[in-house]
Structure 1
């Protein structure tokens, strides 16, 4: 499992914020750093690692660190100083349906938020969208049950921070 450390302004001698995270990926799996520019979008959808979701009109620039094969990011920072890193959590729930993965949530939140609170809201809204999709559209309305919705939580927890707001 990965390790993440955050030191806020009150904990540093020069009043800076420090974010550090390692990546415990397979030794032969390339881990790349990419810069994604701020962009205005005309397309209606964005292709994430496994699925397409609704695109927003504009996304913010980000520096992302990620396994080469995925769309999302394991960690990154955006132009507003929002920083997010994911942590692996090993669960026994397995979904047979393709979905957003934890690293997609990281990138989507970085591209769509100006502070840590907005990043959390982006992720919560994406999870709610998934729950509604599972419950309302994929299950019969007569047989609406919420006991299976835990499958929407991917095997990642997220560490949030926004150094502009501390």
Structure 2
């Protein structure tokens, strides 16, 4: 196979998922030995003057962020 393998995600919501659960799955178009973490960040109300530290810059934070589930390489 040439190039990166395809990447897919899926989610099963009630009533399709058993016991009212949400099921999330993802594969990654990354090297097969690279560990992927699934991480949950809760919703947060932020202070008016707070900043977000990005890789090379810092930017103003929004007043409220929503909860999110992400997948990222463990080294990130």
Instruction: Tell me which protein shows more helix as a share of its residues.
Output: 1
Partner of 2:50: 44
C-alpha displacement at 1:20, in angstroms? 6.4
In the alignment, structure 2 segments of 5+ residues that lack a partner are 11-15, 17-23
Give the TM-score normalised by the residue count of structure 1: 0.29
C-alpha displacement at 1:4, in angstroms? 3.6
Q: Which has the higher contact order (CA 8 A, sep 6+)?
A: 2
Say yes or no: does 1:23 pair with 2:28.
yes
Deviant stretches of 4+, over 4 Å: none
Total equivalences in the alignment: 58
Deviations 1:77-116 (A, max 9, x none): xxxxxxxxxxxxxxxxxxxxxxxxxxxxxxxxxxxxxxxx
In the alignment, structure 1 segments of 5+ residues that lack a partner are 7-13, 71-166
State the Cα RMSD in Å: 2.6
C-alpha distance in 1 between matches for 2:9 and 2:71: 16
Counterpart contact for 2:9–2:27, Cα < 8 Å: no
Partner of 2:66: 60
C-alpha distance in 2 between matches for 1:32 and 1:63: 10
